[in-house]
Amino acid sequence: MRLTEEEEILDLIKNSKDGRNTKFLSASHSLWKRFGNYDRYPPLVHDDNGIKSVIYATFSMRTRYVNLYEICTVQGQEGKGYASKAWDSFLEHSIQHDMSRLKMSCTPSSVSWHYRNGLVFWAVDPTGSLRSDQPIFATREEQLEFRKKAIENPILCLPDVKVIQKLKAEGLEDHSFGVKKAAQVMGAIKEVKSAWLRKALFKQI
pLDDT in tens, 63-96: 999 999 999 999 999 999 999 999 999 999 999 9
Of the candidates 62, 129, 57, 120, the one whose C-alpha atom is nearest the C-alpha of residue 91 is 57
Of the candidates 95, 33, 6, the one whose C-alpha atom is nearest the C-alpha of residue 59 is 95
With cut-offs at 50, 70 and 90, classify the pLDDT of residue 205: low
Given a cut of 80, is residue 22 above it in pLDDT? yes
**Average pLDDT over the chain, rounded to whole?**
95
pLDDT in tens, 194-203: 999 999 999 8
Domain range 1-99, CATH class: alpha beta
Strands of the sheet containing 44-47, edge to edge, are 2-3, 44-47, 51-59, 65-73, 101-106, 130-135, 123-124
Q: In degrees to the nearest 10, what's the CA dihedral of 173, 175, 178, 181? A: -90
Helix%, strand%, coil% for the chain, nearest 5: 45, 20, 35
Alpha-carbon distance of 109 to 98, in angstroms, equals 30
In the chain, pLDDT over 90 holds for what percent of residues? Answer: 97
Concatenated DSSP letters for 91-103? HHHHHHTT--EEE
pLDDT in tens, 135-186: 999 999 999 999 999 999 999 999 999 999 999 999 999 999 999 999 999 9
Given a cut of 60, is residue 1 above it in pLDDT? yes
**Phi-psi region at 76: left, alpha or beta (left = phi > 0; alpha = psi -120 to 50):** left
With cut-offs at 50, 70 and 90, classify the pLDDT of residue 31: very high
Q: Give me the long-range contacts of 178-182 (CB less than 8 A, separation at least 24).
A: 181/128
Alpha-carbon distance of 46 to 1, in angstroms, equals 5
The whole-number pLDDT of residue 203 equals 85
Domain map of the chain by residue range? 1-99, 120-205
Cβ(44)–Cβ(66) under 8 Å? no
Alpha-carbon distance of 42 to 25, in angstroms, equals 14
Cβ(107)–Cβ(128) under 8 Å? yes
Single-letter amino acid code for the residue at 167: L
